[in-house]
Structure 1
Amino acid sequence: MLKRIAAVLALIGAGLSCASCPPASASPPPGHAVLIGVPGLEWSDVSPSATPNLWRLAQGAAAGLLSVRAVGRLTCPADGWVTISAGARSAAGPYCDRPVSVTPDGEGAVVGEVAEIRRMNKGFGPVGLLGDAVHRSGGCTSAVGAGAALAAADTSGRVDLYAPSAAAFSGWARCPVTVVDAGQVGRSARREAARRADAVVGSVLARVPAGSDVVVAGVSDHGRTPHLRLVLATGPGTAGRYLGSDSTRRANMVILPDLTATLLTSAGIPAPAQLIGTPLLPDAVRPALLASVADLSSQDVAAQTQRRLLPRFFAGFVISQILLYAAAALALRLRWSPRRRRRILAATRVTALVAAAAPVSTYLVNVMPWWHRSHPLPWLVAGITACDLLVVALAVSGPWRRTILGPGTAIASVTAAVLGIDLLTGSDLQLNSLMGYSPLVGGRYYGMGNIAFAVLATSTLLAAAGVAQWISPRWGRRPAVAAVLVMTITAALLDSWTAWGSDFGGLIAFVPGLATTALLVAGRRVSFLRLQLLRATGMAIVLGVAYIDHLRPPAEQTHMGRFFDQLVEGDSLPWLERKFTAMMHTFGNLTLMPVVVAGFLFVLLVLHRPGRAGAAGLVLAYERAPMLRAGLSGAFVTALVGGAVNDSGVAVPALALAVAVPLALAAAIFALQAADEPEPQGAGALESTARPAPALPMRPAEG
């Protein structure tokens, strides 16, 4: 059995190696590229009256949102310029608070702090990458303003042509790459600052050579609140389009390193291997400019709403989980009159189902554009509540409601299906979801997030166990195992395939869990050695895919290919240290750690131990539905491995338990109810409710 599972997993690796990536495109002819950076500029600052030059430019340009996340929570102007210089997230350190020194040197200038900033960013971005790439190609760099000089300088700090202002600069046509600092739009006097920046933009547009590719971008945050910023691009095919990139796989969103890639591509300069960004791409057709500005501004509203609600949501989520466990412990451990016991158990079971449906509801709510409402926060909360109740209503409505695993399997199936469909359709439900990811944080812009992985893996394993429980008494173990493998491997492919989830780290955790469930469904014992072999198999698949990905050209590689490059070159240690440090810090997370502790204690001390009123509920559930043990075991294995190998650390087991424990509680209560009042034999959707299902014989462990 173990060999067959390993063979199937090997096929996953072969399939992943052929994951679809954007085809290599022909390099455009060399041209002139101009970046006008306006730190702090947002779409809400732009209007026909306040910023006429930007408005006219936007009418004929591609328009999008710029995620300016660099290294810290906030990106100061110097961070933004340094990130453009490096083509990867970087930080300016103390130069967020004091200016860099730009010393004139002939027609050019030297930025004296570049060497120091490079040392500070060891292990992050190679500051000076943009300038070095231009110089290696035989070209020169020109910069207007101190921030632009920091972005255009090479590793020695050299900029070939420099002027402190656009009015003082005359070399617009001499260099293939020109960077302009149009001044910051900060917290105070924003309208006046935006007008000044608009005047600089108008002056530059009037002077650059005809046919130049121009990008205007709000390259940093302002104040203490991160926002999505404005980005515009001119060039072939940009008119009337949204602006996206392969870095985000979003039709209307890009990241700071994409600006670096765009400058080099527009100038016909090869991209260095260390460059993280990809060129800006005109994408979907956008509506008229006024409607486009409203749409792009609403995306920032969604991100801000998620940011404000997130701490309160998770605090409420944790409190509700702990209250559920406490109330359930009282319901199961105390002696009640028969009539009151029935009511209390029924209410507790429904409450458990509501808790289990909460994660999927945070994704489903994004089907409706709540961020377009004048008061988005109450609409978001009301939408999550409505989705939760709808999912629970489905779970307790069909014929499966009469079975131990039926309602839980329904909720788990809906959860897995919603996340699977979301991956196939662009991950729109995870973006700005309370259990998804935020472009303000910038940990991920597409694919499967870490919290969503925990929810997907757990729900898939429990749904597969429920299906196996229905199949096994009717057709035997082999069809049940086949169903489990089909469901879980499909989910693993969706999670890890580069075209969809692009979450290869999740595969390391998913493989031991799905194999554990499959082995237990087959009647095999799972030894410690087997678990280690399965975990090693998952890691081998990931490394194999990373190796194949690294063989592709740098512009076509995913993060896995770039990681393998770092591994081969011996540069992966800083990356691994950051991941490990981030994972260890999560164990002090006072929000999620209580969920993990409370969940494990509740399962061990309440569900597995007899109460005053009778047998342990989970033991009874295992007797009537033995496949439940297989699903829970696989989910717990995936949660533990995922917490150990993922930089989100404790978040993975916390969310896995938040799905698994309420569903286990619902099954345990159903088993207790059935023991109190055995129901007549009938056609159940997943298994019998009156007689215990026969336990599957366990074969001796192999290996």
Structure 2
Amino acid sequence: MDVNDLIRPYLAGGRLSGAEDALGPDRRARALRDADAAVGAVLAALPPDTRVLLAGLSDHGDTPHLRVAMMRGADVAGRFLGAASTHREDVTILPDVTATVLTAAGVPVPDTVIGVPWRAGGRTGGVGAARDELAGADRAGQTIRNLSGVFFTSVAVLQVAFYLVAFLLMRRRRGTGAIRVAALALAALPVSTYLVNLLPWRHAGAPALALTGGIAAIAAALAAVALAGPWRRDPLGPLAVVAGVTAAVLAGDLLTGTPLQLNSVMGYTAVVGARYYGLGNIPFALFATSVLLLATALAHRLTARDRRTAAVAAVAVPGCAAMILGGWPGVGSDFGGVIAFVPGIAVASLLLAGRRVSIVKLGSFCVAGGVTVMAIAFLDHLRPPGSQTHLGRFVGQVITGEALEVIARKLGAMLNTLLSPNLMPIVLAAAAFLVYGLLRPGTASAGVLPAAFAHSPALKAGLIGTLVSGVVGMLVNDSGAAVLSMALALGLPLVLSAGVQALRGGAAPAYAEAGQQPARSSRVSRRS
């Protein structure tokens, strides 16, 4: 699009300068008009076919913003600018400027240049529409950046409070219905952070309020749907609804270029710039957990009909499909996710088949995950450098000897998350409730967890597979504790909701007094 036409609205809106505090609004406006006139004079003096690039490279203050990137040329007129580096039609990164300048000058781009040339994306719909869209993207990124800390603190508080209240109520045999509702609402919260991007919250007068209100409303609606249909009487029915919606939303998001993960509090933003596309570490944890739990809900029905082989396939096939989708270059592009997903699928499948899982087998499954992702990365490395993702570039770093530095940096980042006040409380509270609820069910959970597993041994296999993926994912990703905490935040409340309903149906004995243990002679029905 014409640079002179598009630059004026940005200048007039103050998008390219942060000098308002230093100059005052009047002097700043004059300075911007002078700059606009100078740019217009330069453009008028150039031949019409001259390729002109304009990139904003600086920030002001402590707040990062998206900056302008524009190009004059017939082939990009009326279109956004994107790049293969971001896999987006309206976002480029700073290293792309070098590659774009060299390409425009007809100079071959050296292999050592990280960036790729800008390319025309979708049509803008006019200058005004383009300005509003790009300003909205910056507003969304800023909102997410400012809200993320408060949001994850709130999630941690809600999770810890949930387990504490559940413990106090269950040991008194009270409030199981309310616990089930709260558990489903908590489990519905993560997927709501993506579904809210279907709403125009970024254009609201108070975007942060619109965002948080939208997330809460969607989570409440999804919990209501999970408890409203005929499936509510089945202990695994509401679990399947929430897990199914979560898996479907994330799978659909991956297949459509991740418009929902971008600018979401449990995703990523272009303002921060850690990731621009694909499956983030937190979405991976949610994706793996939801796929495994949904698959084991289906496997439960098959095992009840003595179709054990089909039950194993019901976990292995969708699990492997989701793993490939999450790890494939340009789609999920999640390196650590593949390593973590493979052992989770394998452990759940092995348990469903009635086989034992040893430390040796578990280690071999982790190795298999590493081999799988390196095979995918090698295929990516065979593509031209400008088309590779970070998976293919990692193979190049292995060849050049730079990989150890990358691994060390990610290991350091992972270890730092183990001290996170927002993530570790979720892990510790959920793990304590789970372990104590299994070792002392009469005291901790009124037998809810044993009831869930008595009703569905497949669910137990699915939860163990989820925990394996969560722990391995924590160890191999730089987000560390975020992976395990989000796997627990989704998985354990869903299992508790199933256990409450199973207990009502008599799947396991309710203990008469807090602290009473089941008698050794008592047997639990495993019928569905």
TM-score of the two chains, using structure 2 as the length reference: 0.91
1:517 counterpart residue number: 348
TM superposition shift of 1:545: 2.3
Matched, 1:301 2:139: yes
1:528 counterpart residue number: 359
Amino acid at match of 1:228: L
1:288 to 126, 137, 156: 126
**Counterpart-to-counterpart distance in 2, 1:613 and 1:438:** 40
Q: In 2, are the aligned partners of 1:306 and 1:433 still within 8 Å (CA)? A: yes
Q: Which has the higher helix share?
A: 2
**Counterpart-to-counterpart distance in 1, 2:219 and 2:148:** 18
Matched, 1:500 2:334: no
After superposition, where does 1:626-641 map in structure 2 within 5 Å?
Answer: 626-641=457-472
1:388 counterpart residue number: 219
2:103 to 265, 270, 294: 265
2:11 counterpart residue number: 46
Q: In 1, are the aligned partners of 2:433 and 2:444 still within 8 Å (CA)? A: no
Secondary structure class of the residue paired with 2:70: strand
**Counterpart-to-counterpart distance in 1, 2:484 and 2:144:** 23
2:516 counterpart residue number: none
Q: In 1, are the aligned partners of 2:159 and 2:426 still within 8 Å (CA)? A: yes
After superposition, where does 1:584-599 map in structure 2 within 5 Å?
Answer: 584-599=415-430
Q: Which runs of 5+ in 1 are unaligned?
A: 1-34, 52-64, 66-181, 679-690, 696-703
Matched, 1:188 2:153: no
1:237-289 alpha-carbon deviations (Å, 9 max, x no partner): 21111111111122211111111111111111122222221111111111121
After superposition, where does 1:18-417 map in structure 2 within 5 Å?
Answer: 45-47=10-12, 188-189=22-23, 190-334=28-172, 336=173, 341=174, 344-417=175-248
TM superposition shift of 1:224: 1.1
1:698 counterpart residue number: none
TM-score of the two chains, using structure 1 as the length reference: 0.69
2:519 counterpart residue number: none
Quick check: 547-556 or 488-497, which moved more?
547-556
Q: In 2, are the aligned partners of 1:511 and 1:534 still within 8 Å (CA)? A: yes
**Counterpart-to-counterpart distance in 2, 1:580 and 1:485:** 30
Amino acid at match of 1:692: S
Mark the CA change 1:605 to 1:569 in structure 2 (over 3 Å): closer, same or farther.
Answer: same
Matched, 1:662 2:487: no
TM superposition shift of 1:200: 3.9
- Structure number with larger C-alpha Rg: 1
**Counterpart-to-counterpart distance in 2, 1:42 and 1:325:** 54
TM superposition shift of 1:385: 1.4
**Counterpart-to-counterpart distance in 2, 1:446 and 1:382:** 26
Amino acid at match of 2:101: L
- CA RMSD in angstroms comes to 2.5
1:54 counterpart residue number: none
2:385 to 538, 554, 562: 554
After superposition, where does 1:395-474 map in structure 2 within 5 Å?
Answer: 395-474=226-305
Q: In 2, are the aligned partners of 1:437 and 1:445 still within 8 Å (CA)? A: yes
Mark the CA change 1:370 to 1:579 in structure 2 (over 3 Å): closer, same or farther.
Answer: same
**Counterpart-to-counterpart distance in 1, 2:468 and 2:178:** 30
Q: Which has the higher strand share?
A: 1
Identity %, equivalent residues: 46
Q: Which runs of 5+ in 2 are unaligned?
A: 510-523
TM superposition shift of 1:208: 4.1
Q: In 2, are the aligned partners of 1:333 and 1:606 still within 8 Å (CA)? A: no
**Counterpart-to-counterpart distance in 1, 2:19 and 2:42:** 18
Mark the CA change 1:263 to 1:672 in structure 2 (over 3 Å): closer, same or farther.
Answer: same
TM superposition shift of 1:509: 0.4
**Counterpart-to-counterpart distance in 2, 1:379 and 1:505:** 33
**Counterpart-to-counterpart distance in 2, 1:610 and 1:191:** 69
Please list every run of at least 4 consecutive aligned residues from structure 1 whose deviation after the TM superposition is greater than 6 angstroms: 41-44
Q: In 1, are the aligned partners of 2:10 and 2:131 still within 8 Å (CA)? A: no
Mark the CA change 1:612 to 1:291 in structure 2 (over 3 Å): closer, same or farther.
Answer: closer
Quick check: 403-412 or 191-200, which moved more?
191-200
TM superposition shift of 1:405: 1.5
**Counterpart-to-counterpart distance in 2, 1:613 and 1:385:** 29
Between Structure 1 and Structure 2, how many residues are aligned? 507
Q: In 1, are the aligned partners of 2:187 and 2:493 still within 8 Å (CA)? A: yes
Mark the CA change 1:193 to 1:450 in structure 2 (over 3 Å): closer, same or farther.
Answer: farther
**Counterpart-to-counterpart distance in 1, 2:332 and 2:108:** 29
TM superposition shift of 1:515: 0.8
